[in-house]
Amino acid sequence: MFTICQTTFFFNKIKLNFDKKQKFFRLLLSFIFFTTKIISYDISKLILNVKNKKHINALKSYLGLIQILFLNSIVSLRGIKIQIAGRLNGKLRKSRFGYVLGSVKLMTLNTDCTFSLESIYTQYGVFSLKIWFSH
């Protein structure tokens, strides 16, 4: 786990605009306190604000920030799994989009996991968002 000084040094090295810096710090807080509610809130706001039915493209830019934090070992998590289901990109049938970083073992009882389930109501229909943290 990085200290605050090392985290701020890493944060100053990457070039992000103000909005992405806020998302970066919210993600960092979410990882430090092992809570999935902050990430589910950010993703739900992201999906609600999409105007041109390009949900997955907007989601991939946010997942890039998660990947930066996870791969640079700033957080002490074993794995992160995010699954979103619904009428993605305005399609007529529902589909699923999944994203996994690290290993999330859900079939064993010994694994310490944090889980979040949220329903997002949009003009295109209902999306379900599931997030798992494995630590």
Domain extent for 40: 4-134
Query: Which one-letter DSSP state was computed for residue 126?
Result: E
Structure tokens of 23? 């998302």
Contact yes or no for 36/115 (Cβ under 8 A): yes
The predicted model gives 58-72 an average pLDDT of: 82
The predicted model gives 13-28 an average pLDDT of: 65
Q: What's the number of domains the chain is made of?
A: 1
Q: What are 3-17's pLDDT values in tens digits?
A: 444 455 455 555 555
43: pLDDT confidence band, cut at 50, 70 and 90? confident
- Write the CATH number for 48: 3.30.1140.32
Contact yes or no for 127/84 (Cβ under 8 A): yes
How do beta strands 79-86 and 125-134 pair? antiparallel
Q: What are 93-126's pLDDT values in tens digits?
A: 889 999 999 988 888 888 888 899 999 998 888 9
Which helix (H) or strand (E) is 46 found in, with range? helix 37-48
Composition of the chain by helix, strand, coil, percent to 5: 40, 25, 30
Compute the residue count for the chain. Answer: 135
Tell me which residue of 94, 70, 95, 82 sits closest to 44, measured CA to CA: 82
Query: Taking the complete model, does pTM exceed 0.95, yes or no?
Result: no
